[in-house]
Structure 1
């Protein structure tokens, strides 16, 4: 069962735009004692924009340096065949699970979402974590749809990033037996009953995430919110800001960007 603090790893690059194995290993060494699982190449790892080589390298390096923690490979691709392709890559690389969004597009219907996860769980031997979000996929599942998906075999957990505390609470209280993990650090206190947290704050501050899960009251929530605001975790370029903080602490070598596009984003932030 997935529970506690799961870290959605940032993807560290070297000056040539390649994934840095040295920085990946250093990051995992920094946080492994305080987290329950490693989740590379999801949103905080820029999974939707990585090349196959970058994506494969990050998954492989995470598996190699995992300290025995489960590795949940993120998969963000526009359609079901694309998700399945990377799920098969994750299998070959030694990942323990995959975490996947719905297909991309505002017109993707709720029945299509159920069919997507049914195809995915039937097409890979790996357990599937459902990632319910909107910024990348441009859609999100309803509560009824999530309950239907949780009834499928092979569904390991839901990363619930809808931003709707009422829906998250209802899903957590539904009794499906599928763990529900909050995807927003600022909503832990408002969603009692969740099984854990998957948020970018776990990269620099996994211990603080554990403390919030153990005591999800408003006083500590306000502290966590202030730390998230300090690090810029609710801004569009949050992953770059996390990298800067980790580089400042000496955890990774540098907050390098993989391309000129990323460098421009960093300069404009």
Structure 2
């Protein structure tokens, strides 16, 4: 039985931990899940950009899904990311995710091909029509070079299972455009760590986070305080957090955030080739950011 996806709160875009032998590190994956659940997160996303989706085998994605479902035990929804080059492949991945118990999907536009508006809308509709799972469209023209515009969402609104948007345009005014156009037809999830508080203040329902993989309590504190209107308290943590959050908007965000998760004891730095672990001055710089943040880590009231 699927868990309802409310599209509210904090949804970590999960890292995929590997062993030194390049196998999935399921025990470490589950350790991270437990840390997230203890902090109070609201859902999980498997196999996103941070999860090194492009390097995962299909059976590995299913293994991660099954592990997450076993840990969550219907406490929170588990979503699978769909990021494929072709429509047939995307539909196949959606079928597999649904068959293996996923509660919802995050759906990217076609990979590698710069589809135009008609092609992109047709791609999204073709996948959505092949599943009953609720879907969040990932709108990230900065990284994926395809903008899903208000006009395109007007067409997508015809499909009831397209329910939410991961808002990663890096244009905060787009949040207001979407609200003005659709009201609450689409749930909006802020998808850029360095704009998370601003996105929440402008009306986003939740936050798809990256640094939450290393700092779940601090992420939840920013979210909870902002939603409670305790803006001064939220801003204090957010300002402390910002040097770490900036690790999420770098091309090597996977290596950077994995290093942070290793430093907090809920991850490891192992990545899958062609990525390589950080070395030299770059590694020292990222470690310095992490250690300076840890030295001043705020005391979060768990209550």
TM-score after normalising by structure 1: 0.89
CA contact (8 A) 1:105 1:139 kept: no
Return the index of the structure with the highest Cα Rg: 2
Distance 1:89-1:225 versus aligned 2 partners, 3 A rule: farther
Q: Deviations over 1:121-165 (max 9, x none)?
A: 111222211111135533121122123323322113111111111
Give me the whole-angstrom Cα distance separating, in 2, the residues matched to 1:56 and 1:179: 26
Structure 1: which 5+ residue stretches go unaligned?
Answer: none
CA contact (8 A) 2:197 2:238 kept: no
**Larger RCO, structures 1/2 (Cα 8 Å, 6+ apart):** 1
1:233 aligns with 2:243: no
Give me the whole-angstrom Cα distance separating, in 1, the residues matched to 2:152 and 2:145: 16
- In the TM superposition, residue 106 of structure 1 has moved relative to its aligned partner by 5.9
Partner of 1:16: 21
1:187 aligns with 2:198: no
1:266 aligns with 2:278: yes
Q: Deviations over 1:59-86 (max 9, x none)?
A: 2222222242200001111122121111
Partner of 1:108: 115
CA contact (8 A) 1:158 1:180 kept: yes
Give me the whole-angstrom Cα distance separating, in 1, the residues matched to 2:198 and 2:244: 21
Answer with 109-118 or 209-218: which moved more: 209-218
DSSP-derived class of the 2:111 partner: coil
The CA RMSD measured in Å over matched residues stands at: 2.2
CA contact (8 A) 1:185 1:225 kept: no
1:245 aligns with 2:250: no
Distance 1:37-1:127 versus aligned 2 partners, 3 A rule: same
CA contact (8 A) 2:135 2:164 kept: yes
TM-score after normalising by structure 2: 0.80
2:67 aligned to 35, 50, 61, which one?
61
- In the TM superposition, residue 175 of structure 1 has moved relative to its aligned partner by 1.2
CA contact (8 A) 1:96 1:126 kept: yes
Distance 1:51-1:45 versus aligned 2 partners, 3 A rule: same
Provide the aligned length of Structure 1 versus Structure 2: 266
Structure 2: which 5+ residue stretches go unaligned?
Answer: 1-5, 283-303
